[in-house]
Amino acid sequence: MTLLAEAPTTQRTVLHVGCGMADPRKLPSAFFAPGVWREVRLDIDPGVTPDIVATITDMAAVDSGSVDAVWSAHNLEHLFAHEVPLALAEFRRVLRPEGFALVTVPDLQRAAELVAQDGLDLPAYISPAGPIAPLDMLFGHGAAIAAGNHFMAHRTGFTARTLEAALRHAGFGIVRVVRDDAFALWATAFAAPAPSISSKSG
């Protein structure tokens, strides 16, 4: 029996993948409802003391259909392009039929617009980690990489169209992608198939 199977049946479980160090502020406000959501943390780095040590491309330690939501913040861009379908398939596999994935990644279309204006190395916005330039969005946070955290390197990227296409290809039935003011894409993807629309002729 896995850790997730022991969760109270009245409480929903959000699997926080690539969680990093424990910090409740890393969860979106949608998961703040007291007593409603239970966070289970998964990370490749045992040093951040996650509940589950695993990669997002192989989450065999998590039972199929065992969580209500998957929260992934800036993880997919750290994979090679050919690994993205593996990760998204794992996200969908662990979700209950009515579950959903919430995914955020850098918006490379907007980053490219700044690059076209010769702003490759100019700050686009200020994050908790400091100024972020299009160069950071494309290749990973330069300051963190320079400090030795090579996990921060980016190996792929997305526009709104390609992120939606990747999620649909992974089998998510309903997908909605929106942009925010911090040069990020936010995708909400539901595991259930999209409802079919029948038409009558007469």
**The whole model's pTM is what?**
0.88
Does 6 score more than 90 pLDDT? no
86 — phi, psi (to 5°)? Answer: -65, -45
Summarised one tens digit per residue, pLDDT across range 99-115 is 999 999 999 999 999 99
* Burial status of residue 11 (CB atoms within 10 A of its CB: 0-12, 13-18, 19 or more): exposed
The structure tokens listed for 94 are 């662990």
**Most distant pair of Cα atoms in the chain: their distance:** 69
Determine the Cα–Cα distance for residues 168 and 34; give it in Å rounded to an integer.
32
Report pLDDT for 9: 55
Class of domain 4-106+156-190: alpha beta
Determine the Cα–Cα distance for residues 164 and 89; give it in Å rounded to an integer.
14
Confidence of residue 1 (pLDDT cuts 50, 70, 90): very low
The one-character DSSP state at 185 is: E
Domains of the chain by residue range:
4-106+156-190
